Amino acid sequence: MDSFVNEKDFALLSQDRYTFEVLARILKEECELIRSNHENLLLCHSESRYPVWIWTPDNAPDEVKGTAWELACGLRPLAGGYRYNLKYELAEYFIEKAAGEGVHAGISMNMFVYDCPSPIPPDTAADGGLYCCTAEDEEEAAAMIPHFYTEIGEEVPPYEHCLEKVRNYIAGQGFFFWKNKYGKTVACCSCKLNGRFATISSVYTFPDERRKHYAQNLVWQVTRKASELGCIPMLYTDADYQASNACYEKIGYILRGKLCTVAVAN
């Protein structure tokens, strides 16, 4: 098992180009851990806090699943508080193996993967407009990131991590606010370009500003910008947030794949 990836790995991931697009992007950046046999198994952990990504092909034999389980247990065990992003068939195998070892694991999040080949304007326009953040907005943007993590039930990262995150987005003109007609920031999102794809994430609206179509108009505007750059906009969502998913579908997003996150059950 090698500790690096090569073109064979990216060719393998292209079999699941939507569901594992974020993994393909992560592998081009710095990672804490990479393991690959360049054939049917790839494990990656970008940095602490984030889930471990594990890719195997569809209908992988139990031998491959078993190797994936042993690799994950030896390097980033569930019992150590790590979480895994993976396909459902591998998740079922992992949950059963964990139970056999006395670890109560389960699916902590169901994820949908969408792309948007043809953005559709929202039915209802929101007051205010899109604002592309600059270095002067770093602190305000960094203060919004913890709200996003809390909203999706994830561990809130330290402030310095949030600040570094938004600085990277802002450097690439990829962090946005929606400001209402009074100039108040009411929502945010980020956009990361990766070759032919543009991944939209960190979508958050303050609770007292919801149901005013801010998030839908924000995401549509950013989606349109990405399309104009020749990229295919895409995003990952919590499959259980039906209202948000319906909002994305109305502006042209199409469901392309499904993943889940496995963790020790509370």
Element (H, E) at 216: helix 214-228
180 backbone dihedrals φ, ψ, rounded to 5°: -75, -175
What residue segments make up the domains of the chain, in order of their start?
7-111, 129-250
- How do the pLDDT tens digits run along the chain, 266 residues long? 999 999 999 999 999 988 998 899 899 988 999 999 999 999 999 988 789 999 999 999 999 999 999 999 999 999 999 999 999 999 999 999 999 999 999 999 999 999 999 999 999 999 999 999 999 999 999 999 999 988 877 788 899 999 999 999 999 999 999 999 999 999 999 999 887 899 999 999 999 999 999 999 999 999 999 999 999 999 999 888 888 899 999 999 999 999 999 999 87
Distance CA 258, CA 110 (A): 8
Alpha-carbon distances of 153 from 35, 109, 149, rounded to whole Å = 28, 9, 6
pTM of the model: 0.87
Contact indicator for 261, 87 with CB cutoff of 8 Å: no
Task: List alpha helices for 122-188, DSSP H.
Answer: 138-151, 159-171
Distance CA 19, CA 114 (A): 9
CATH of domain 129-250: 3.40.630.30
